[in-house]
Structure 1
Amino acid sequence: MLYGIAAAIAALLLAALLAGLLRVPGLRLGLVDRRRARPVPVVGGMAVVLATVLVAGAGEWTGVAPLGPGVGTLLGAGAGVAALGLVADVWRLRARVPLAGTAVAALCVVPYEGGGVTGVVGGVLAAAWVAVVAGAFRALDHADGLAGTVGVVTAFGVGACAAVEVLDGVAVLLSVLAAALTGFLMHNWHPARVAFGGCGALFTGFVLASAAVLVRTGYDAVPSAGVLFALTGVVSVDAVLVVLARRLAGRPVTRRGPDHLGHRLRRLGLTSRGATVVVGAGTFASVLVGVLVHGGWVDAGAVWWVAGGGAVAVLGLLCVKGAGARAVPAARASVQVRGEVRRPLRVRNG
């Protein structure tokens, strides 16, 4: 207990310090979020990864808080995924490349024995789910403080599930990750001084999803799927919302645009901080259901409330663009994406 508290404090302070120290080198090297009007370096994720790996690795190396073979492998694979995300930040790789690399890393982490995840088929499905969640978590990084807030709440929830199963190594790792994300949020809260980037987003999504799979090992597959969905409910809602919106508009799913949760909540009149708070509250509600179902305190049917709430949110937010957009002349229209105002497009007749 005392080590867990000390580790969390160390991770929080280290992540906050590293995020501040890496900001200037990130600006000089041009590692910035190109979707913003002002230069914001994407080094916050590096700070989270370094703080988590160093603090959790110190417990394993000293023997004070050994993570265990499975959790140590998870942390190592997560570091590899973070390196791939950093490469994607620098060279702007196609989305399918980090997704494929994350899936390969997940195949090395998910268990292939024990109840709900059994055999090759179950392991492959679990690895695919981990990769999808990591990719969706990266897509969730579209507003200041949003991905970090969702990550903190989810880490506490999955960590609580791990504590129920007496998986001390998983619980320690997730508490360290939650603390590191909190330190990062000190610099990422609107207006952000550093951004998350693919490095931190893929790492966080990968660790959270993989840890959730480890926690549910030994349970039946169908209830496990419900708990896993509840623990990642907001991430799933954002992914479904984006896919439906882009398909209905006839646009490629992989093309970026202002159609995520944060964008649509802003169109409803919320401030950037207000949208983050609303998404954080939704994450807390969804994760709480997952924890209660996993612990056996409520019936598994409670997951349907999360699914129903997510469906209502998706259908309601799909209508926001038409209801909230103002009609402006095409020649003077401008589009704002994550703080970036693009120059008006000139319309040519004929």
Structure 2
Amino acid sequence: MVFYVVAFFFALALAYVLTPLLRKIALKFEILDHPVPAIKIHPKPVPYLGGLAIWLAFIVTLLGVRLLTSFPTGTLRNLRGIFYGGTLIMVLGLIDDIWRLDYRVKLFGQFIASIILILYNIRIEFISSLPLSIFLTIFWVVGITNAVNIIDIMDGLAAGVVVIAGLAFSFIALPTEKIYVNFAALALAGSCLGFLRYNWRPARIFMGDSGSLFIGFILAAISLGESYTTINNIGLFAPFLVLGIPIYDTLLVIFFRILKGKSIFAGSRDHFAFRLEAMGYNRKKVVLINYYLTAILGLAAFLITTVKFELAVIIYAAIIAFAILYATRLIYVKVE
């Protein structure tokens, strides 16, 4: 337990120190995110490389934990998979931040990173059919990786949501001693929290795709490492709640873009956050609303892993009903 707390605060401190250093490097080499009308709404260019700070803090923390503790063979294997796959994702994102990559190249890289996780025994295990398990694992990892990338549209939004989601996964995994889940979740949460100090509005640095894709990938990998509950079978769907905000936003964006006849890969203001802003909330309140909702969903996910089937069904049904009803309201909100 002590090492879990140390991992969180060590990652936080590392990210807190590394982020301003990498900001200076980004400014020196002009690795900047330039405003784009309607989509990228910051008033002036903002340096990238925040994702590199998050990655470094995360990796160094896990390496430090490895040197100070003895892990079972299975845990070491899992952590290696996260290291190799996560590093590939970060490098692809970094290249995209600096030179731009075709989205198909990024998707292929995410596919390879998903395969790496599977090779290191991180996959959906409750499905007996191995081919189906592999297919759904790849779909889940690629989907969540991009879902977190999609919500990185306002200062502090993605980083804060991931801090809360990481803590939620660690609390859910704590009773069952899923070692790699706990260490990775807390290292990720700490890294993002240390970075958030500089990403809060007005942001002094962005994480870029190197950060948003990386933290999405790590969350996806973490979510696959927990059995969630032996009390009810539908506790298996708890990750959908913890990751509810990225998933909900992704589904909304896809729905609205299809409705408008646009490519789902095209940039637009069809996001949940932008629609909240159009309803009259300022940016700070929009981000805080996303934090509150993530915390509520994380708590609901934790409860679902501890209650009987009937109550779990009620919790799921209430959340799904609210999400659908609110989506019908968002349809009529004009964002362009």
1:163-194 deviations in whole A, cap 9, x for unaligned?
A: 13211222012111101111111000100001
Q: TM-score, normalised by structure 1?
A: 0.85
What is the match of residue 303 of structure 1? 316
Equivalent of 1:89 in 66, 91, 97: 97
Cα-Cα RMSD: 2.4
Q: Does 1:100 align with 2:113?
A: no
Question: After superposition, where does 1:43-62 map in structure 2 within 5 Å?
Answer: 43-62=49-68
- Structure 1 residues 112 and 317 mapped into 2: Cα distance closer, same or farther (>3 Å)? closer
What is the match of residue 39 of structure 2? none
What is the match of residue 280 of structure 2? 269
**How many Å apart are 1:39 and its aligned residue?**
1.5
What is the match of residue 20 of structure 1? 20
What is the match of residue 338 of structure 1? none
Structure 1: 5+ residue runs without aligned partners? Answer: 326-334, 336-350
What is the match of residue 293 of structure 1? 304
Q: TM-score, normalised by structure 2?
A: 0.89
1:235-258 deviations in whole A, cap 9, x for unaligned?
A: 111001111111112222111112
Question: After superposition, where does 1:181-200 map in structure 2 within 5 Å?
Answer: 181-200=192-211
**How many Å apart are 1:98 and its aligned residue?**
1.7
Opposite residue 267 of structure 1, the aligned amino acid is: A
Report if aligned partners of 2:178, 2:225 keep a CA contact under 8 Å in 1: no
Question: After superposition, where does 1:1-350 map in structure 2 within 5 Å?
Answer: 1-35=1-35, 36-63=42-69, 67-110=75-118, 111=122, 114-116=125-127, 118-216=129-227, 223=234, 226-296=237-307, 299-301=311-313, 302-321=315-334
Report if aligned partners of 1:19, 1:187 keep a CA contact under 8 Å in 2: yes
1:149-172 deviations in whole A, cap 9, x for unaligned?
A: 110111011112221321122201
Question: Secondary structure, in 3 states, of the residue corresponding to 2:270?
Answer: coil
| Structure 1 CA distance for aligned equivalents of residues 125 and 254 of structure 2 | 34
Count of aligned pairs:
323
- Structure 1 residues 207 and 78 mapped into 2: Cα distance closer, same or farther (>3 Å)? same
| Structure 2 CA distance for aligned equivalents of residues 115 and 260 of structure 1 | 33
Report if aligned partners of 2:232, 2:307 keep a CA contact under 8 Å in 1: no
- Structure 1 residues 73 and 267 mapped into 2: Cα distance closer, same or farther (>3 Å)? same
Which range is displaced more, 114-123 or 194-203? 114-123
- Structure 1 residues 104 and 31 mapped into 2: Cα distance closer, same or farther (>3 Å)? same
Which range is displaced more, 75-84 or 140-149? 75-84
- Structure 1 residues 220 and 132 mapped into 2: Cα distance closer, same or farther (>3 Å)? farther
Structure 2: 5+ residue runs without aligned partners? Answer: 36-41
Over the matched positions of the two proteins, sequence identity in percent amounts to 26
- Structure 1 residues 65 and 190 mapped into 2: Cα distance closer, same or farther (>3 Å)? farther
What is the match of residue 38 of structure 2? none
Report if aligned partners of 1:99, 1:131 keep a CA contact under 8 Å in 2: yes
- Structure 1 residues 94 and 43 mapped into 2: Cα distance closer, same or farther (>3 Å)? same
Report if aligned partners of 2:184, 2:222 keep a CA contact under 8 Å in 1: no
| Structure 1 CA distance for aligned equivalents of residues 145 and 123 of structure 2 | 20
**How many Å apart are 1:297 and its aligned residue?**
6.3
